[in-house]
Every structure is written in C-alpha cells, then in structure tokens.
Structure 1
Amino acid sequence: MRVPDRDAMVRRMLEQTPPTVPPDLYPEAVRRGIRMLRRGTATRRVLWLALLAAALAFVIWASVARPWVEPPSTTTPPVSDW
C-alpha cells in the first residue's frame, strides 16, 4: 500500500465515530484481571513450596548419605613387616 493511500485510509478511520463499547466490558475485564492475578500468586506460591521441598529433601539426603565421606575400604592393606 502506498503512503498517500495509507494516509487517506487513516484519515477516514479517524473521522468516523468510534464504535460503542459494551456496558459490561469493564466489569468483565476487572474480573478476568483479578483472576489472572490470583492464578499468578498461586503459581508463585506453589513454585516456592516446590523449591523449599526440594531443598529440604536434599538436606535430609545429604545428612543421611554423607556423600563427602570416603567409603570404607573393602580390602585390607598389604602386610610388609613381619
């Protein structure tokens, strides 16, 4: 579309009366917005609880398994002085 045609189309659109807005649009938008905020809050809480549970499970596992300790030797060292 050429620039003069586009300008003329925009001018025609601006000269028209704007379409009417349904009267129940605002309350519906507010209701949906509140629901979206509640879902976001609930999602964040669930994710924080999952992170806390994972950290707690790791701490419990690490305290029981003690992965930083060397496992005991399964063979005896050679005896050289007899």
Structure 2
Amino acid sequence: MKPLEREAAVRRMLESTPPQVPPGLTAEVLRRGGRLLRRRLVARRLLWLALLAAALAFTIWAWTARPWVEPPSTTTPPFGTW
C-alpha cells in the first residue's frame, strides 16, 4: 500500500461513525475484571503461604538436624605406647 493510499484509508476510517457498543458490555467487563482481580489476589496469597510454609519447614529442619555442627567421630584414634 502506497503512503497516499494508506493516508486515504485512515481518513475514511476516522470520518466514519464508530461502531455501537453493546449495552451489556460494560457490566460484563466489570464482572470479568473483578473475577480476574480476585483470582490474582488468591494466587498471590497462596504463593505467600507456600513461601511461609517452606521457610518454616526449613527452619524446623535446620533446628533439629543442625547441619552446621560437625558430627561426632565414630572411631577412636589408635592408642599406642611411646
């Protein structure tokens, strides 16, 4: 499409009357938007709850297992006379 043809097509589109919006469209959009926001809120809360549960589980495991402490030796060093 040439630039002049494109400009003429845009002018025709802008000069024509816009299409009519269906009467129930606003209510439907608000209903869907509200549902989407509620779903996002629930998903965000579930993710925070899962993160909190994982942090709590890690804390309890670290408190009971104490991975930073060196395990006791199971063998004794050889005893010899000098």
TM-score, normalized by length of structure 1? 0.94
The alignment of Structure 1 onto Structure 2 pairs a total of residues equal to: 82
Partner residue, 2:74: 74
For each residue in 1:28-63, what CA deviation from the matched residue of structure 2 results, as whole angstroms up to 9, or x when unmatched? Answer: 000011001101100000000000000000011011
Aligned-residue Cα RMSD (Å) equals 1.1
Partner residue, 2:22: 22
Which sections of structure 1, spanning at least 5 residues, go unmatched?
none
4+ long deviations beyond 2 Å: none
Question: Are 1:31 and 2:31 an aligned pair?
Answer: yes
The amino acid that maps onto 2:67 is P
Aligned-partner Cα distance in 2 for 1:76–1:15: 96
Partner residue, 1:45: 45
TM-score, normalized by length of structure 2? 0.94
For each residue in 1:2-53, what CA deviation from the matched residue of structure 2 results, as whole angstroms up to 9, or x when unmatched? Answer: 1111100000111111110000000000001100110110000000000000
Identity across the alignment (%): 68
Aligned-partner Cα distance in 2 for 1:6–1:81: 103
Which sections of structure 2, spanning at least 5 residues, go unmatched?
none
